[in-house]
Amino acid sequence: MSEPREEVLLGNEAIARGIVESGCHVVTSYPGTPSSEILPAVVRFKKELSLNTHVEWSINEKVAYEVALAASYTGKRAAVVMKQVGLNVAADPLMSSAYTGVKGGFVIVSCDDPGPHSSQTEQDTRFYALFAKVPALDPSSPREAKEMVKAAFELSERHRLPVILRPAIRVSHARQNVEFAPVATLERPADFVKDPGRWAATPRFRLQLHKELNEKLDSIREEFETSDLNTSLRGQDRRLGFIACGSCYSVLRDTLKEWDLEGRFPILKIGTAHPLPQKLVGGFIAGCEQVLVLEEPDAVVELQILDKGKVVGRLNGVVPAAGELTPEVICQLLAQKAGELGIELPQEIDTGHLAQLVADLGLPVRRPRLCPGCMHRAAFFGMKRALGSKAIYPGDIGCYTLGLNLNAVDTCLDMGGAVTIASGLYQAYHQDGKDVPIAATIGDSTFLHSGVTALSSAVHNGARFVLVILDNSTTAMTGMQPTADSGVLADGNMGQRVAIRDLVQACGVRFIEEVDPYEVREFEALVKRAREHTRKPNGGIAVVIAKRPCVLYDASPLQENPVRVTVSEDCDGCEYCQIAFECPALVLDENLGRVVVDRRVCVNCGVCIEACPKGCIVEAGE
């Protein structure tokens, strides 16, 4: 069967297609919004085209980076994929590999999350390009993202440097018709040529490599001056010009078209965000009275502009210093600039129409909550019942961060942060001779990502706390990617299983117990015993593995053993269950003055029977 010539693709799928068409041999990743769809799409194309590409969900971004980098050392093409905060984890090899350089094309796809929609920070990956002194390309659409992947591999091989492709969320998650091209067949048998002065350089050689890196960067900048990755559009009205990057460029073009202003103002689209082609940018600015820079999430291009005399943007507060540049924000900026410059707009601008349309729908405002039947809720509820509100609850990154709503997550820093924060809190109180209950929670994937090293350090240094590993058998928040504990590989085949329990044991933990958190009383009793272990003279850290599959990932245990509940007429509507347990299926019926079960969302887990202290939630009869 021949391949289709064109398909509507998600930006991330277009990036995957670009990776495959470039003849890339090795693709590694750790999931994280907005990058998670890229590796599964590579797997899809690999299967459709019967390719020999090695794909893997690595245990974390640093590991993913280094595995792909090593493939590049052998002359193969390699790509590593992650979200922007993932690059913090991989920053160490990024900095070092900029010095050593690469052999086969090596592309880092790091997806940014301006907003942020699903991240701890809205940091700008492009700053890492400046920091590490590597090139960064910034696509404005899915179609361009695919082409930029190819350009990135070629650039990487020409200059023997890692190259960053930085799509922001509106490119990663946009959809567009994308043309397919043939897949490059690159015969690259692995050929690692020993060169200790490069691959194992000592500090003396590193100085030389740094000078070499600076020279590479200068020649890349020169190349970017005439690169077709940047686009200059003419405009007669030179009182205002735009420098625009990424999806801001697409929004700007659409808005000007909608306002009958297409072609009026000069626009410079910068696709090569670093190193900035200074002559191109300087020449553009010289031809305008004022230039508005539109980029996100931060002022990376603006910061690199040498003469900012005519430039306005994020740095001088004209563009908001934080947050996504949505179409509404860009419309407001354009309307404001037009007004200031006395430019008459050909039609009345209504910047708030989209927000108004949404408001008119009258949708109820709902805060994010754990799903009905979620095992995390049961675990948090049992944990709170065991240790009360005086305990400190360090949390971690995952859907279980929503334990915040149940007052069962007091801190959330980064991947693995629950274990280190718990350890640090213990040491701080212990120093003052105080014994404060501390119970940390971390997901299975997050534990494998960064919890293992933290736990071994905590054990080694004598910390004492309860660690609840919320093991729902998948990486739920980012789309059900398999974990190493499941043994399933990125392409669906089985690999070697890495058991969490064995890792915990290997870290030196003596108290390890596993329990189904749906068994709330048993779970509560176990957490109490775990706490006691932390206080015994010969005790230490106690690990409780709360094990039950995510209800969205595997509903079969619920289907096999449904527990249908009802709320009795004795319910007085005190709302305790709604506040302390927060299942979306328990709703207050204002007319009845009591809580009822919303059958449309209830999944018959039966855990809420434990949530009413007055025993009003009961198993329903036939």
The H-or-E segment that residue 176 falls in is strand 175-179
Instruction: Write down the H helix ranges in 405-482.
Output: 417-431, 444-446, 452-460
Residue 561 contacts residue 603 (beta carbons within 8 Å):
no
Angle between helix 91-100 and 125-132 (nearest 10)? 40
If one asks whether residue 571 binds ligand SF4 (CB under 6 A), the answer comes out as yes
Taking CB under 6 A as the criterion, the residue among 575, 589, 592, 619 binding ligand SF4 is 575
DSSP state of 450: I
Residue 343 contacts residue 253 (beta carbons within 8 Å):
no
If one asks whether residue 612 binds ligand SF4 (CB under 6 A), the answer comes out as yes
Taking CB under 6 A as the criterion, the residue among 42, 470, 527, 608 binding ligand SF4 is 608
What the block records as the tokens of 574 is: 């005190």
CB-wise, 49 or 579, nearer to ligand SF4?
579
If one asks whether residue 565 binds ligand SF4 (CB under 6 A), the answer comes out as yes
CB-wise, 490 or 585, nearer to ligand SF4?
585
Q: How far is the CB of 550 from ligand SF4 (least distance, A)?
A: 14
The whole-angstrom separation of Cα 322 and Cα 182 is: 41
The whole-angstrom separation of Cα 469 and Cα 483 is: 14
If one asks whether residue 403 binds ligand SF4 (CB under 6 A), the answer comes out as no
Q: How far is the CB of 476 from ligand SF4 (least distance, A)?
A: 17
The H-or-E segment that residue 240 falls in is none
Taking CB under 6 A as the criterion, the residue among 273, 280, 415, 602 binding ligand SF4 is 602
CB-wise, 43 or 567, nearer to ligand SF4?
567
Give the range of 14-22, 212-220, 445-453, 594-602 binding ligand SF4 by CB under 6 A. 594-602
Could you give phi then psi for residue 39, rounded to 5 degrees?
-65, -45
The whole-angstrom separation of Cα 547 and Cα 243 is: 52
Residue 596 contacts residue 589 (beta carbons within 8 Å):
yes
Taking CB under 6 A as the criterion, the residue among 195, 572, 589, 619 binding ligand SF4 is 572
CB-wise, 78 or 402, nearer to ligand SF4?
402
Checking 557-562 for CB contacts under 8 A at 24+ apart, the result is 558/373, 558/603, 558/604, 558/605, 562/604, 562/606
Which residue is associated with the tokens 């009793």? 525
If one asks whether residue 577 binds ligand SF4 (CB under 6 A), the answer comes out as yes
CB-wise, 328 or 554, nearer to ligand SF4?
554
If one asks whether residue 599 binds ligand SF4 (CB under 6 A), the answer comes out as no
Give the range of 198-206, 214-222, 239-247, 580-588 binding ligand SF4 by CB under 6 A. 580-588
The whole-angstrom separation of Cα 617 and Cα 569 is: 10
**Quick one: residue 564, left, alpha or beta (phi over 0 = left, psi -120 to 50 = alpha)?**
beta
Q: How far is the CB of 524 from ligand SF4 (least distance, A)?
A: 16
The whole-angstrom separation of Cα 262 and Cα 60 is: 45
If one asks whether residue 595 binds ligand SF4 (CB under 6 A), the answer comes out as yes
Taking CB under 6 A as the criterion, the residue among 540, 550, 586, 610 binding ligand SF4 is 586
If one asks whether residue 455 binds ligand SF4 (CB under 6 A), the answer comes out as no
Residue 120 contacts residue 303 (beta carbons within 8 Å):
no
CA 529-374-358 angle, to 5 degrees, is 140
Give the range of 129-137, 339-347, 356-364, 572-580 binding ligand SF4 by CB under 6 A. 572-580
Which residue is associated with the tokens 């965000």? 273
If one asks whether residue 109 binds ligand SF4 (CB under 6 A), the answer comes out as no
Residues 347-386 touching ligand SF4, rule: CB under 6 A, are 372-373
* Cis peptide upstream of residue 135 (ω within 30 degrees of 0): no
Q: How many residues bind ligand SF4 (CB under 6 A)?
A: 28
Taking CB under 6 A as the criterion, the residue among 503, 526, 606, 610 binding ligand SF4 is 606
If one asks whether residue 617 binds ligand SF4 (CB under 6 A), the answer comes out as yes
What the block records as the tokens of 322 is: 């934080």
Give the range of 34-42, 50-58, 61-69, 590-598 binding ligand SF4 by CB under 6 A. 590-598
Taking CB under 6 A as the criterion, the residue among 576, 587, 596, 618 binding ligand SF4 is 576
CA 25-30-36 angle, to 5 degrees, is 90
Taking CB under 6 A as the criterion, the residue among 303, 574, 596, 618 binding ligand SF4 is 574
Q: With H, G, I as helix, E, B as strand and everything else as coil, classify residue 566.
A: strand
If one asks whether residue 607 binds ligand SF4 (CB under 6 A), the answer comes out as yes
Q: How far is the CB of 580 from ligand SF4 (least distance, A)?
A: 8
Q: How far is the CB of 577 from ligand SF4 (least distance, A)?
A: 3
Residues that bind ligand SF4 (CB under 6 A): 372-373, 565, 567, 571-577, 583, 585-586, 594-595, 597, 602-608, 612, 614, 616-617
